[in-house]
Structure 1
């Protein structure tokens, strides 16, 4: 019975390597989702995900130079800058969303979701859009 208790305790206790691995997963949090939609022409279609630790995941879908999934790292200052700009943009910066062949961009940061046409945005929203487009171009 003594040995059975000892075996159960060993099996129930977490291993150090597993704990460290899980700790790194818990720290990473998706904070930005950026999606470019289709148009009637050859507009690029892709998704880009930015995590709080600077990890960026790009998924090229259609009409892009790089199709498929790619990853890179960006500076934490850039992540903080995007978060700051998102907190300080106004709805007027979205601009006119009318138009038949202009693709929509969907931007999600934490609890905010903005659907806009990047060619008609302005102010901080345009700055966010340009920052993320530059990240995508460097992949």
Structure 2
């Protein structure tokens, strides 16, 4: 009986490793990272590659914990790219991180350029993009949608 449990564990872990391997970080187009704070700040990471394949990792203080995989439509991907281009993402100048300990940061990466800002800054030029990405997460990683859950915490 113990041997069956070990075999099942090996199969599950090997499938999980294969699914993670097929998504290459080198093909990432967009990455959104929400960092920890001492309170109830949502902590998660979203990676979207050039084909619209997306991996969401809900870590803490989020409705859906674990790793989920979903695919954006061609139109959703084009709309995101246009929003980044209209904002002139590569040209934005944002104040550097401060050394405060209890401040959550949002980091957005697009085509190799990365910007971080305090999540509490209402006037951030990146707020509209973060809200759009959050809506895509809610639409694709909620109970009942056709997302593929890779790993549950």
Q: Which of the five TM-score ranges fits, normalised by the shorter chain?
A: 0.5 to 0.7
Matched residue, 2:113: 112
Mean Cα deviation higher: 100-109 or 82-91: 82-91
Please, which runs of 5 or more residues in structure 2 have no aligned partner? 1-21, 142-153
Distance 1:83 1:77 in 2: 10
TM-score by length of 1: 0.67
Give the count of matched residue pairs: 114
Relative to structure 1, is the Cα distance of residues 80 and 66 closer, same or farther in structure 2, using a 3 angstrom cutoff? same
CA 76–118 in structure 1, closer or farther in 2 if over 3 Å, else same = farther
In structure 2, which of residues 39, 42, 57 is the aligned counterpart of residue 41 of structure 1? 39
Aligned counterpart, 1:53: 51
Encode CA deviations 1:56-98: one digit per residue, 9 max, x unaligned: 1101111112211101122222222222222333636x57966
Structure having the higher Rg: 1
Partner residue, 1:129: 130
Q: Highest relative contact order (Cα 8 Å, sep 6+), 1 or 2?
A: 2
| Alpha carbons of structure 1 residues 25 and 61: separation in structure 2 relative to 1, 3 Å | closer
- Unaligned regions of 5+ residues in structure 1, if any? 1-23
Cα drift, residue 103 of structure 1:
0.9
> Please, which moves more after superposition, 120-129 or 41-50?
120-129
Q: Distance in 2 between matches of 1:25 and 1:108?
A: 17
Query: 1:79 aligns to what SS in structure 2?
Result: helix
Q: Which moved more, 1:76-85 or 1:35-44?
A: 76-85
